[in-house]
Structure 1
Amino acid sequence: MTKLSGAKPRIGLLGTGPWAARTHAPALAAHDGVEFVGVWGRRPEAAAELAAGCGTTAYDDVDALFEACDAVAFALPPDVQAPLAVRAAAADCHLLLDKPVATTVAAAREVADAAGLAGVASVVFCTLRFAEPTAGWIEEQAAAGGWFLGEAHWLGSLFAPGSTSAYAASPWRRDKGGLWDVGPHVLSVYLPILGDVTEVTSVDGPGDTRHLVLRHASGASSTATLTLSAPPEAAEAALTLFGERGRAAMPAWDGAVGAFGGAVDALLEAARTGVPHGCDARFGARLTEILTEAEAEQAAGPTGPSEPAA
């Protein structure tokens, strides 16, 4: 695996939107274990503004940023992220990816394959896997085992009438909805605890709402209701497991900046040890496969009962 250079690895940021400005850039600027060397964006003026606010350098040439870095973090739409991640891996940069890695299976697998071929570490920033105390809770429940079923809902209100969210104008979120935006978060909790998904059923709800029923390799089943269209008063994210020891409710977490710092730590550890993290690009590709299956299964619609013979 490509090793990190020096005691303080150099990391760059690709992306200048609200997610980059509110989470990635502040976390990288505050992280004692990395040197935040620069920002690249599709809008040079936004890159210059974000870089100036963080005391780092704006890059007009993304390949020049790759050359200056040991690792790069992504805060870009998924299908912009994927081909740039392949280029970054080829430039020997470790990858801190956003979820979903891509919205096509081919593109997500290409990222995972590129990271493997280049021997670079990768981490996908699924917030719950790195936030405290949810990260510890996931590990505890995975170790405990004996779970029978899971129930989850992630009710966002980005698309609710009157929403002022800075993320509401995101074209890819408008196109793909809560299934692809918050679905990876729920799956990133279920899979390490209940096992891989072996069967998916998907049903539409109001707005962009999707109701998923999942079968897992452990034999457990789970449900997930995902939306970005809930009324603000109903917005909530929760996940509960049921099993041999009763029930376990996932604890609350506080914000994404600290969680992103945890994801940086995880990437550095994977790069230094050569041991892949459980939420790496290969895992991210699996999430894309599951979400694609849910999308296709829902699009096909119910087959309904067969017609009786004449």
Structure 2
Amino acid sequence: MTTHAATGTPMRIGLVGAGPWARLTHAPALAAHPGVRLGGVWGRRPEAARALATAHGADAYSGDAGFDALLAASDAVAFAVPPDVQAPLAARAAAAGRHLLLDKPVATTVAGAREVAGAAERAGVASVVFCTLRFAPGTAGWIGEQAATGGWFTARALWMGALFADGEGNEFGASPWRREKGGLWDVGPHALSVLIPVLGDVTEVVAAKGPADATHLLLRHTSGASSTVTLALDAPQGAVGTEVEFRGEGGVATLPAGGGDALGAFRVAVDALSEAARTGVAHPCDVRFGLRLTEILAQAEAEAEVRTRA
């Protein structure tokens, strides 16, 4: 059983958010985790917070005073809200000494992500950014294997969804921030979270826009390898898919299919946060990594906009 570092009791984790992602993944994973007690649910919509909290036998909170009450009832806070709502609330939680289980991206501005990272560093709290493939049992080990193999010459990653297609009935398609920021910011963190551990940090970025919300990236990494990335949420139905491929001295390695079990991955992320809080050893996918993802994506966004205007 995972226990809270200071008390030896289950870690109390409060949930910020009551939308589809919180309802489908965060709340059920936290409520069922043997080493966790769901400290409560805070939502911007009181009725949604009440419904989700009631479903899992927890207290509901809303409003500014409610957020403070959730912090008082929690050792850590998990976030399932839009990134630029998440950032100031996460900085506030860190300042109150609460560990952070963040969603990706941490923020869509570098300033916002730096605020969270700075608050976490000053408070000395543990943090984990939930990039699904870094924690999903079907893919986390594979990423580690490719990093250990080395000798990669190049890689390509493709994340394409049809989130906004008519008739899809996808709840995430109603997300205003996803419509505004597109695939670059929603699925870009997934691609980078696989590429960077294997090829190293990004040193150069070239970006260009494609049709609809598609964005194409050409990246150079500290290992000397290059990678190409194609990202979209508004692709045609027939174009949907996720692919990652590394090519190098050892041949070709392809991301295993079926590695995106969000519930299982989130449980692993909870364990990672608890371990980081217990040991004081930062997790590789912590808020500093989340800040780096935001820096790269912001640079790509700016590059693509310049090319569009040219």
Q: Which residue pairs with 1:193 in the alignment?
A: 198
Shift in CA distance, 44/258, structure 1 to aligned 2, threshold 3 Å: same
Larger mean CA deviation between 82-91 and 249-258 belongs to: 249-258
Query: RMSD in angstroms over aligned alpha carbons?
Result: 1.4
Paired with 2:155 and 2:6, the residues of 1 have a C-alpha distance of 39
Q: In structure 2, how many angstroms separate the alpha carbons of the residues matched to 1:134 and 1:191?
A: 14
Contact 1:240 1:247 survives alignment (8 Å): yes
1:15 to 14, 17, 26: 17
Name the structure 2 match of 1:127.
132
Q: 1:246 aligned to 230, 248, 251, which one?
A: 251
Q: How much does 1:203 deviate?
A: 1.3
Query: Structure 1 pair 303/80, CA: closer, same or farther in 2 (3 Å)?
Result: closer
2:85 is aligned, of 62, 80, 83, to 80
Q: C-alpha distance in 2, partners of 1:5/1:278? A: 25
Quick check: 2:209–2:308 contact (8 Å CA) kept in 1? Answer: no
- In the TM superposition, residue 164 of structure 1 has moved relative to its aligned partner by 1.6
Contact 1:96/1:123, CA 8 A, preserved across alignment? yes
In 1, the alpha carbon distance for the partners of 2:220 and 2:234 equals 26
Q: Would the aligned equivalents of 2:157 and 2:244 in 1 still touch at CA under 8 Å?
A: yes
**TM-score scaled by length of structure 1:** 0.95
2:167 aligned with 1:162, yes or no? yes
Over residues 44-74 of structure 1, what are the superposed CA-to-partner deviations in whole Å (9 max), with x where a residue is unaligned?
A: 1110000111111112301111011111100
Deviation at 1:88, TM superposition (A): 0.3
The superposition leaves residues 204-248 of structure 1 with CA deviations (integer Å, 9 ceiling, x where unpaired) of 111000011100011000011000012223311110100110010
2:122 aligns with 117
How far has the Cα of 1:185 moved from its partner?
0.3
Q: Secondary structure at the match of 2:137?
A: coil
Give 3-state SS (helix, strand or coil) of 1:248's partner.
strand
SS at match of 2:172: coil
**Structure 1: how far apart are the matches of 2:236 and 2:192?**
23
- Superposed counterparts of 1:172-183, under 5 Å: 172-183=177-188
**Which of 249, 259, 280 is the aligned partner of 2:265?**
259
Q: Which residue is equivalent to 2:112?
A: 107
More helix by share: 2
Letter in 2 for 1:15: G
Map 1:200-279 to 2 at 5 A.
200-252=205-257, 253-279=259-285
Count residues in correspondence. 303
Return the letter of the residue paired with 2:47: E
Q: 1:171 to 1:4 in 2, by over 3 A?
A: farther
Q: 1:16 to 1:299 in 2, by over 3 A?
A: same
Correspondence 1:8-157 to 2 at 5 A: 8-60=10-62, 61-157=66-162
- Listed one character per residue, the Cα deviations across residues 148-189 of structure 1 (whole Å, up to 9, x for unaligned) are 111110011102243321011111101100000000000001
- The TM-score normalised by the length of structure 2 is 0.95
Give 3-state SS (helix, strand or coil) of 2:60's partner.
strand
Give the drift of 1:6: 2.8
Unaligned runs of 5+ in 1: 305-310
The one-character-per-residue Cα deviations of 1:67-120 (angstroms, maximum 9, x if unpaired) are 111111000000000000011001111000000000000110110110010010
C-alpha contact (below 8 Å) 1:239/1:250 kept by paired residues: yes
- The 3 A distance-change label for structure 1 pair 92 and 5 is farther
Are the aligned partners of 1:178 and 1:227 in contact in 2 as well (CA < 8 Å)?
A: yes
CA–CA distance in structure 1, aligned partners of residues 309 and 242 of structure 2 = 31
The alignment partner of 1:162 has SS state of coil
The offset of 1:302, in angstroms, is 7.2
CA drift of 1:254 comes to 4.2
Output the amino acid matched with 1:98: D
Q: Percent identity?
A: 66
In 2, Cα distance between equivalents of 1:194 and 1:160: 34
Structure 1 letter corresponding to 2:158:
H
